[in-house]
Amino acid sequence: DAGVTQSPTHLIKTRGQHVTLRCSPISGHKSVSWYQQVLGQGPQFIFQYYEKEERGRGNFPDRFSARQFPNYSSELNVNALLLGDSALYLCASSLALARGLTGELFFGEGSRLTVL
Amino acid sequence: GENVEQHPSTLSVQEGDSAVIKCTYSDSASNYFPWYKQELGKRPQLIIDIRSNVGEKKDQRIAVTLNKTAKHFSLHITETQPEDSAVYFCAASPMFSGGYNKLIFGAGTRLAVHP
């Protein structure tokens, strides 16, 4: 089975531009989460989607948005890019969760965004 | 707010020695504590996890302990090998219903195992 796949793997943008990152979860996984990992730091939670609904949002500005499609793939959009948005953007998927329990997250290889 | 502190930030050991990484968390509602290993340029990969109803879990050379009262959890690697060299992240997840599974990560520990 394929793992979590993300595209593009690398991209370079300039300040003020917009970027769309894409993620396909492991087959059968209905939950997709997005994390930002700045060099030398741990991943930071941006969004979680479950069954196409936003279930959680981290402390990120409204320039960051996401959605999940009927096939459970997801897009992360970032508008008006800033230099500080340069990071590795990780997508993770997990199986449907029982009430009150957290499932294992499987991460993709990430999309490395450089903002010049 | 939610926070996970991880120590040390760097750890250097000789092959065959043990390595211990410690984390503390702030949210008492946390009930799931995974550890991830991330090699340079690679994805974080789960190596072991523990839930709040268990105090200790072991998988071959790797063990994790949890003290919910003190809000501490630790990763123990025995008989370290050069291939254990990587950055290790601890994380904590609060208990929420409705399919919510946000992880709060520590800042990471760079482990170097010298032959």
Predicted confidence (pLDDT) per residue in A69-112, tens digit: 999 999 999 999 999 999 999 999 988 666 655 578 899 999 99
Q: With bands split at pLDDT 50, 70 and 90, how would you rate the model's confidence at B53?
A: confident
Q: What letter represents residue B6's amino acid?
A: Q
Mean pLDDT computed over every residue of chain B: 92
What is the tens place of the pLDDT at every residue in A29-61? 888 999 999 998 999 999 999 888 888 899 999
Give the amino acid at A83: L
Greatest distance between any 2 Cα atoms in chain B: 47
% pLDDT > 90, chain B = 77
* pLDDT at site A99: 60
Predicted pLDDT at A76: 98
Q: Which chain B residues touch A48 with a CB distance below 8 Å?
A: 100-102
Residue with tokens 């000789």: B14
- B32-37 mean pLDDT: 94
Instruction: Verify whether the Cβ–Cβ distance A96 to B99 is below 8 Å.
Output: yes
Position B82 scores a pLDDT of: 96
Distance CA B12, CA B86 (A): 11
pLDDT over 70 (residue A1)? no
Nearest by Cα to A106 from A84, A86, A91: A91
Q: Give yes or no for A62 touching B (CB within 8 A).
A: no
pLDDT of the residue at A2: 78
Q: Do B108 and A103 touch (CB under 8 A)?
A: no
B78 in helix, strand or coil?
A: coil
Judged by CB atoms closer than 8 Å, whether chains meet at B99 and A50 is answered as yes
B99 reaches A (C-beta below 8 A)? yes
pLDDT confidence of residue A96: 64
pLDDT of A28 over the 80 cut:
yes
Most distant CA pair in chain A, distance: 43
Q: Please list the helix, strand and coil fractions of chain B in percent, rounded to the nearest 5, in that order.
A: 5, 55, 40
Query: Is A56 an interface residue toward B (CB < 8 Å)?
Result: yes
Q: Is A60 on the interface with B (CB under 8 A)?
A: no
pLDDT value of position A100? 53
Mutation target vs A (from B103, B104, B109; most A CBs, 10 A cutoff): B103
Which among A32, A55, A35, A53 is positioned nearest to A45, based on CA atoms? A35
Confidence check: pLDDT of B96 > 70: no
Check if A8 contacts B (Cβ < 8 Å).
Answer: no
Of the candidate ranges A75-84, B10-19, B26-35, B99-108, the one whose mean pLDDT is the lowest: B99-108
Mutate to test the interface with A, among B10, B27, B43, B57 (most CBs of A within 10 A): B43
What is the rounded CA–CA span in Å between residue B29 and residue B24? 13
Is B34 within 8 Å of A50 when comparing Cβ atoms? no
